[in-house]
Every structure is written in C-alpha cells, then in structure tokens.
Amino acid sequence: MESVMSKYENQITIFTDYLEEFPDTDELVWILGKQHLLKTEKSKLLSDISARLWFTYRRKFSPIGGTGPSSDAGWGCMLRCGQMMLAQALICRHLGRDWNWEKQKEQPKEYQRILQCFLDRKDCCYSIHQMAQMGVGEGKSIGEWFGPNTVAQVLKKLALFDEWNSLAVYVSMDNTVVIEDIKKMCCVLPVGADTVDESPPDSLTASHQSQGPSAPCPAWKPLLLIVPLRLGINQINPVYIEAFKECFKMPQSLGALGGKPNNAYYFIGFLGDELIFLDPHTTQTFVDTSEESGLVDDQTFHCLQSPQRMSILNLDPSVALGFFCKEEKDFDNWCSLVQKEILKENLRMFELVQKHPAHWPPFVPPAKPEVTTTGAEFIDSTEHLEDFDLEEDFEILSVR
C-alpha cells in the first residue's frame, strides 16, 4: 500500500490537453433526465454538466481512523463516484434538478450545507473517512478498492445517521426492485406525529396497500434508489445497451456507477453510443471550511473542462444505476417508465415486482442502531460495525 500511495500522492492530472470536444452533430445529449440539442445548446449543456458536484482524489486530509491513509489516491475512486451520485440526489432534494451553479456566484445556504456533508473530515456524514470505515463492515479494509454494490450498501447505512437530509435508501437485491418494500420504507406518519421519523406501523402499511397503488402515503420520505446490476460476464451484453441508455432519460435519473476494473467513473449521460462521465482520478489538496466565513471554497468541486466520453461497449458489466424520487408520485412515475421502457425487452436489465417475493427473507426497513453517540463517533471505532448485517458484495468489478 505504501508504494501505491507514494505513486499517487503527488499526482495532479489535467485533462484539458486530451479531452475531445463534442462532435458537430444534430443528435440529442441526455444528462440526468434532461436533453440538450448539441448543435444549438452546447454552452447550456456544459453549464449543466459543470453544475454537478465533482469529487476527486484528495490528499493531506487527517489520517483515516487516526493512523490510516491521508490520501485516497489509487483506491478511493468508487467512493468518490458514490459521493457524486448521492450529492446529486441531495441537490435534487433541496435545490431541484433545474438548479444551476455559476463560478463565484453566491449560492443558497442549502448548497453549502450539502457540500459540507462530503468534506474529508471524520465528522462529515459522507466523508471519505466515514465511507472507508463503514466499508469495514462490508468486508473491505481501509484503503481497499470498492465495487458499485459495496458503495451502495455503505451509503444506505450512513444515511441512517443523516437526519437533515432524511433519505430512505433502497438497494435492490438479485436485480429486482420490490414496490411493496419501497412503499413500506418511504411511507411515514405525517409531520407532528410522535413517530414521524420511524417506519409506519404494520396497520398503516396494510391499510395503504389495501387501497391500491393510487392511494397516497400520509407522508413520503425522499427515496434514493440504487440498482446494482451485472450486465454481462466479462463485457457488457449489447442486448442491454438501449435499456441502459433509457435510464439516463428518466427525470429521476442519478446516473450510474461503474467503469473499468479498479477504475471507477460517475456516468451522467450519453451521446449516441458514448457515455458521458465525471472522472475522479485527479488528486487535489484537501479543502476545509473557511474559519473566517464558515463557507467552503467550492472552485475545486466542479469540473470546468469538457467532460470525458467512452464507448458504452467498453463499460465493465458491473454497474449500479441511481434514481431519486422526492415524492411518491415521482416513484409511481418511475415505475411506469420502467414498465414501458425496461420491462418490454425480452432479456430484461432488471425486474420490477409489486409484492415481496415469498422465498426472500421478510423485508425490514433499515433502522439506526441503538447507540448513544453520533453517527460520526459511532463508526469512528470499527469494533461496533458488527451491529450492521454484512451484505454480500456480489456485484463488484472483476480484478484483472
């Protein structure tokens, strides 16, 4: 590990010299559920892409766990991609998909608060420190490379300690999304009830389900839905390509985690048969909150160059799709789109079912462990990680 760290510690990668410009074409570009006509809306497209929060390797942060690495260069790329997907969900939750970022322009206070969730400090809820240490409960040593499913499981568990954003995180199993389980997890009692932050009692859930899919929940907990998939054995099966691209057209889209073995990217859209992605493989110096203003200098958290592209056929088959449903109607709409665009294929990319499969263990919505510390303090000590169930990491990119 020492040799790997020394190799990457001082690496600063600048992409400007070899980035390809977008071609002159009449084709539409899709970015996280929004379309852009490349020929006439190129500046708008680039502005939309640069507004996404961009998390990269960092160096010179406090050692993870007190004695661990002070840089994630060489091993943290999938964690950074997971941060980017989650950050996009939080932007949609607090600012909306149409929110845009402009350099050196004052931003809403929610934006700064979102950014501070991801700073490289152990007391930030989605920091590299928290993610790496929570990964220990998934069988990953600190400094070890993660796959898409491992990152999804880590985010699901960290979200339990995040009261401000109050997300319900659902990670599908066996390529199957279960509507009944998501409704059970996201339907909560109205604000003001004593159990507002808890799952609804069985009677409420049963009552809601008996009324059919059109009956709204009393209140809906915003949903981060992650679908880990394996779309082939050693390479992506071309039969899945159109369905995969359709997911980027959905208004709920958060893109996809994936890439190549031990080389993760955050895919945010496509042009033709090329995927557009944000690349975390740039090592930048740790940035903290300003002592004077209490704000974060965000200049290094946005990618201002043209984004990179790769042929979809070069994608490793192990991926994780992300979707955000702020309200129940967004989830219902997503289900309709999946029925129309994904389930029409003979070889389906994943399944969407109404009822919890009888042969599966009963679904229990995840709950915060009973501890007297904050989430940050709780996972600062790995001895408590056995309080979480170890998830089977069956969807990691192969090591070659």
* Number of neighbours of residue 262 by Cβ within 10 angstroms: 16
Alpha-helix residue ranges (DSSP H) falling in the chain: 2-8, 42-50, 77-94, 109-116, 128-134, 148-158, 179-186, 202-210, 241-249, 328-341, 375-380
Cβ–Cβ under 8 Å, residues 223 and 182 = yes
Give all strands (DSSP E) within 248-374, no chain letters.
Answer: 253-260, 263-271, 274-278, 283-285, 308-311, 318-325, 351-353
How many residues are present in the chain? 400
Known catalytic residues are 77, 279, 281
Nearest to 10 by CA among 284, 394, 335: 284
What is the sign of the dihedral through the CA atoms of 125, 129, 132 and 133? negative
Cβ–Cβ under 8 Å, residues 243 and 227 = no
263-271/28-31 β-pairing: antiparallel
Q: How many angstroms separate the CA atoms of 204 and 188, rounded?
A: 9
